[in-house]
Structure 1
Amino acid sequence: MGDSVRTTVGSDRWFRRYGVFGEAARRRLVVLPHAGGSASFYHAWGGAFGEGTEVLVTRYPGRHDRLADPCVDSMDALADHVTAALLPSADVPVTLFGHSMGASLAYEVALRLQREHGVRPAALHVSSRKAPHRLTPRRLHEQGDEALVAELQRLGGTDTRLLDDPDLRELVLPAIRADFTVVGTYGPRDPAPVDCPVHAYVGDGDPSMSAHDMASWADVTPREFQLRVFPGGHFYLVDQHEALTRAIKEQLTAAG
């Protein structure tokens, strides 16, 4: 399968696709990146899940090859866009994985798929983000640029050296601020149930999240819930890439 990749026009402007394509796909894993993140962060995931699995990594507007597209600064609007773009690819079982902001987004997309379109996700995987009813949003988006940069540095996972260049900073900060607006204006919300298994992941040294926090995701599913703790901080998934993708692959293949 390798790490082949394609990006197409239309609804696929929202996704970068890795792995098998078209009729060869037996299942799809949809990845929702963190605030300030991009599809390229998950490039190594493209060939990690075995034959028959197509990986769709969400491409948020306002950055990289979608730099000219207007940023989206509302969780509901972002979830609506992603859900609409995903529907043509829901002809095979769809599993959602979201890290940090992406976990909340994955949950909202899962709700929309089942409530509005009768599509039950195969599973929801959430990483390093409190469940919707346990959120205590911080309003960093209302603060200055330096506060946003300091938060990115605190959490890790983003190359903040790019922000040292005034020209680059002018290009990338609007998308970062939009993402932090999404995060800061979302929740807490009632734990509306998703009709699928939920798998939660967290790093044991995360400065903002604990295993106890992640355990509350059990409240959003009447089905199976599993919690796994990895060594590392908020971006444990960098050093624990192989262990995390192996755990997700086991769940994907077990589901068929």
Structure 2
Amino acid sequence: MAPATTSIWLRRYASPAPPRVRLLCLPHAGGSATFFHSWGRALGEDVEVLTARYPGRQERIAETPLTSIEELADAFAAELRPYLDVPLALFGHSMGASVGYEVALRLEAHHRTALALLMVSCRKPPHLLTPRTWRLSGTPEGRARTGRLYGADAELVEEVRRLGGTDAALLEDEGMRELLLPAIRADFEAVDRYTARRGAPLGCPVVGYLGADDPDITGAEAAAWSAVAPKGFDLKVLPGGHFYLTDQRDALLEDIHARLEQVR
């Protein structure tokens, strides 16, 4: 059954039964809503899945990608208002975890609604973030001339390859590379601009997920999300690297399903 599209920002996989809980999935830098396509019907008949549709890719390829985590969070917090009639959980992978955290803050501040659960995957908490200066390669003159804040296309492709995932294979095709790199570049800029800040506590429990061999985050760093989770924190480590959730899909969904079962 094809997903029902309800907004330019959200792809909705309507649950067969009236939803008891909704789950919004927020993809990584360069990622798209289809990364979570197989999750749409995998979490039970009363769990409705929403996937985030970032501008600058797929159906929104003609739009200019956003270069700010805060702008993305503003947009999603506004779009989620019609979906707050049942408990809402968020799962964010990598960049998506930071977007999810900021969405949670906005829902609490502006809509007086706390998430049922925030799940953050392979991302440091806000107070531990550091700039990724590797992308500031080349000369200042060259960056001013091209209008590009970051390095050459080859450097972006190499970083995506280093982290792995399905995006790396797509970038081997020159035509796909031309389509995908503007969104990847914009997302990397958003990630780099979102540097360490004092972490505001959340009004919901937080679960951290981590690939045991992720090259960019340690177990201790993932566990530091507990500092913004006075309602409770848990950490789940699975085999694999930064994109552990591809190979460990079934184990991850089983764990998420069990946690959502506790949401009432």
Shorter-chain TM-score range: over 0.9
**1:14 lines up with 2:14 in the alignment:** no
**Residue of 29, 38, 46 corresponding to 1:35:** 29
Residue aligning to 1:109? 103
Where in structure 2 are the equivalents of 1:231-246 lying within 5 Å? 231-246=239-254
Q: How many residues align?
A: 250
Cα shift at 1:76: 0.8
- 1:153 aligns with 161
Structure 1's 239 and 168: CA in aligned 2 closer, same or farther, altered over 3 A?
closer
Residue in 2 that maps onto 1:135: 129
- Alpha carbons 1:152, 1:158 under 8 Å: kept: no
Once residues 41 and 162 of structure 1 are traced to their aligned partners in structure 2, the CA distance between those partners, rounded to angstroms, is 13
Give the Cα separation in 2 of the matches to 1:254 and 1:230.
21
Aligned partner of 2:221 in structure 1 is: 213
Q: Residue 162 of structure 1: CA displacement? A: 3.2
8 Å CA contact retained: 1:98, 1:104: yes
Q: Aligned partners of 1:103, 1:160: CA distance in 2, in Å?
A: 20
Change (3 A) 1:7 1:145: same
Report the residue type matching 2:13 in the other structure. Y
Kept in 1: contact 2:163–2:243 (CA 8 A): yes
Aligned mates of 1:170, 1:232 — CA distance in 2: 29
2:216 is paired with a residue of what secondary structure?
Answer: coil
| 1:16 Cα deviation after fit | 1.1
Unaligned segments of structure 1, at least 5 residues: none
Give the drift of 1:161: 4.0
CA contact (8 A) 1:126 1:199 kept: yes
**Whole-angstrom CA distance in 2 between matches of 1:101 and 1:166:** 25
Identity fraction in percent: 52
Runs of 4+ in 1 over 6 A off after TM superposition: none
Contact 1:133 1:189 in 2 (8 A): yes
CA separation in 2, counterparts of 1:62 and 1:77? 14
Q: Check whether the contact 1:204–1:230 (CA below 8 A) recurs between aligned residues.
A: yes
2:15 touches 2:41 (CA, 8 Å); kept in 1?
no
Hey, what does 1:168 align to over in structure 2?
176
CA-to-aligned-CA distance 1:149-181 (integer Å, 9 cap, x gap): 111000011333433444332222111111001
* Partner residue in 2 for 1:62: 56
Deviations 1:127-169 (A, max 9, x none): 0000000011204252111111111000011333433444332
Distance in structure 2 (CA, Å) of the matches to 1:165 and 1:254: 44
Asked if residue 124 in structure 1 is aligned to residue 118 in structure 2, the reply is yes
CA distance in 1, matches of 2:203, 2:97: 16
Segments of structure 2 that go 5 or more residues without pairing to the other structure are 136-148
| 2:76 maps to 1:82 | yes
- Shift in Å at residue 56 of structure 1? 0.3
C-alpha separation between the residues in 2 aligned to 1:224 and 1:193? 11
Cα offsets for 1:88-126 (capped at 9, x unmatched)? 111111001100000011000000000111011001000
| Distance in 1 separating the partners of 2:254 and 2:201 | 26
Residue identity matched to 1:180: F
Structure of greater Rg = 2
- Equivalent of 2:199 in 165, 172, 191: 191
| Cα distance in structure 2, aligned partners of 1:219 and 1:161 | 37
